[in-house]
Amino acid sequence: MSKRHTGLAALGACLLACSIGLSAEPIGDPAQGQAAAAICASCHQADGSGMNIPGAESWPRLAGLDASYLAKQIRDFKSGQRSSPTMQAFAQMLSDEQIPHVAAWFASLPAPSLPSAEAHAPALLERGRQLATEGDWDNYLVPCSSCHGPDNLGAGAVFPAIAGQHPAYIRDQLLNWQKGSRQNDPQQLMATVAARMSADDIQAVAAWLSTQPGATEQKPE
Ligand code: HEC
Ligand code: HEC
């Protein structure tokens, strides 16, 4: 057990290097996905920016996320492996051939700047920054960025960008992993992370990540 704890950071690095989960993903054509993506716009918005809806199901930003990651999630919703009554219905409207194209369409859109409507206390943001970039070694928590990439902007097809994602969505996903209602992560990597977080930590990291740029080009010089 303790071996697993200390091995977590190394495991993240190995996953990157070993490219687990990169089974021959068909490469989609954004132009072919655009038409089918129209039905998604009522929630995810035409520009893929989604919407933060505190107190209800938020609509995640899809724009600029990795195409293979998006395709995997859509297939998981379709099969029920990732449980979401809302998304299952829409995923089932897509044929298996359409999925990579729709995923490529959203991946091709520029990551939006999120409206920073929610004001967060400085202490909360500082705790969130610490968790995301330094981790909390007392609680065996490696920094989010050790898997989610430098600046938490994503790493390959396995680790999605979480910077510039809506805070209520990030929080809900972490809570889902704690409850066991999201179970589609490879090797339960996220379930392990979420299990080590307090409700306050979840709030903090979700708030801080949402204030961060969702793409490299948005970073101030
Ligand atoms: C009625 C609103 C609604 C519509 C329409 C909708 N979605 Fe979603 N979508 C959601 C919600 C809510 C979630 C978060 C589900 C959860 O909590 O797991 C989500 C999650 C997703 C995710 C996971 C994103 C991530 O970062 O893991 C993808 C991919 C996605 N939707 C794609 C689509 C596509 C493609 C369509 C159109 C075919 C679509 N959605 C239509 C509400 C919607
Ligand atoms: C050991 C590697 C690892 C670490 C560390 C890690 N994650 Fe993840 N995370 C993943 C993987 C893998 C996924 C993709 C799961 C899937 O495919 O469904 C993921 C997905 C997520 C998602 C879902 C994103 C989406 O678009 O649906 C959120 C939110 C998230 N992580 C937050 C965090 C936060 C916050 C931290 C730091 C406290 C963190 N993660 C640390 C591996 C990790």
Residue 155, pLDDT above cutoff 50: yes
Angle at 68 between CA 189 and CA 163, to 5 degrees: 60
Say what the pLDDT of residue 75 is: 97
Assess whether pLDDT exceeds 70 at residue 3: no
CB 100 within 8 A of CB 28: yes
Instruction: Write down the pLDDT at residue 221.
Output: 47
**190, pLDDT greater than 50:** yes
Average pLDDT over all residues of the chain: 89
**pLDDT at residue 173 above 50?**
yes
Interval 61-114: pLDDT, tens: 999 999 999 999 999 999 999 999 999 999 999 999 999 999 999 999 999 887
Tokens, residue 123:
């202490």
Q: Indicate the pTM of the whole model.
A: 0.91
Going along the chain from its start, the domains and CATH numbers come out as: 30-108 (1.10.760.10), 115-216 (1.10.760.10)
User: Using a 6 Å CB cutoff, which residues line ligand 1?
Assistant: 39-40, 42-44, 57, 59-60, 62, 65, 70, 73-74, 84, 86-87, 90, 93-94, 102, 160, 172
Residue 118, pLDDT score: 67
Residue 203 binned pLDDT confidence (cut-offs 50, 70, 90): very high
CA distances, 190 to each of 128, 193, 196 (Å): 17, 5, 10
For the four alpha carbons of 200, 206, 210 and 214, in that order, the dihedral sign comes to positive
Atom of ligand 1 nearest to the CA of 106: 35
- What is the best residue among 42, 45, 52, 59 to mutate for testing ligand 1's pocket, by most ligand atoms within 8 Å of CB? 59
Percent of residues, the chain, with pLDDT higher than 70: 85
Tell me: pLDDT of 47 over 60: yes
| Predicted confidence (pLDDT) at residue 163 exceeds the cutoff of 70 | yes
Question: Mind listing the pLDDT tens digit for each residue in 106-140?
Answer: 999 999 887 665 688 999 999 999 999 999 999 99
